[in-house]
Structure 1
């Protein structure tokens, strides 16, 4: 089962507390990357056929392809702080930060136990992001993003020492191959763009390009392109006075009806409702009494 993740902020990071059900629920996956910290209780965390006993202080790494679900113990229900974020946040900074999330499920240990020396510093950063995104004081998004980047550097250093040199080289090579394609998408997502344009840039067949997107990013070329356009539409809606029609075409959509339909499907509300809820202009023009 795939879950659609929406972000409350124009920087795509969410933080939330969650207590899993005591009954085992269906496994799911989502396009966001996820890091969870158990802050109380106990339970089990399932990743496909893998299962981990959970204790306070344990940290779990979840990529955008792996089926997973947490379950609470009936007598001692667990509570987590989870961080969800869009992979593009790391790609825009340094693509190697994505490598810890590009794992092969069968050979990857999703858990960093509370006994690990890495648990305390990563747990502190997760709690910092949760506090910043909850309190929403001045500069909170910059603080949350800074903490996320520091956390991902710690993960990169941790997992790079645990993988074979051959596997680490393969993952690095894949990202180096994808980077030109992603740069084209970032530069030209406002224009009509096809998978063949990306395949030509990579000097591979369209079918191979499609496979690379799905395998390495956990989403199709069309889904990745759509997310770029949705993110740009969000930015324009909350930071400009452009009409919805102008936002539609400025962010790369080819028709107004499809823009409204796809935006609402991805975000959960219409473009105008999104502007009303999150616009800086709306906040300034309608101050809290």
Structure 2
């Protein structure tokens, strides 16, 4: 098994970071001396993820918009790739260190997810997160700016690169936090199954008005059978899953934007702002305004 080393991976010795896109990616099992955050930008594959000193992998399918972390000490491989392309973010935890004056220790706490040992035990991110509408765009915008700074190397680029990487990882941490609030794991769904098709359609279109019949057409099932199959597979109804997607995105927008509460609800798929506020409080115990205020407390 090949191990990718720091000295052959990072082109700028004092900046332990590499960001790049790879098309038609197909790589055998390997490990590395750094963290790897992967965003799937196209196609699909089977991801084999090996914990340290283990030859028994976590195996799950990954597809467009999936995001996952390969922590220090882990190895991984891909099988059955189909037009598979990824955005790779490779970095050392030292990039996020507060010890060099780049970032106060207090500010570094949201990034403990990427510190190494905690990442090893974080089941959600070492498996995968499927990015929702708007989330991938925010992350890719940051990564494009990182790539531009690394290419042009204008005055102060090291500071700009670190700032944008930190912004990216905080976005990821906030997405992971939003997912942890009652999210149903999709990692065990059979690739190409009707339930996966229905879930993927809702994930792509949850900001729009959606009727059950439309979701069922995407899964090639009649509505009643889809409801039965979805509930028996995931333990949650189609309607509850759709509401969960909208509430997750609302929490995310409240965390990373200063949009009005009404606009947050609208962008999350709630046409009625009063209904949005009522559902949000019923689910979280807080109004949207109280939730946002608590983030800065």
* TM-score with structure 2 setting the length: 0.46
* TM-score with structure 1 setting the length: 0.47
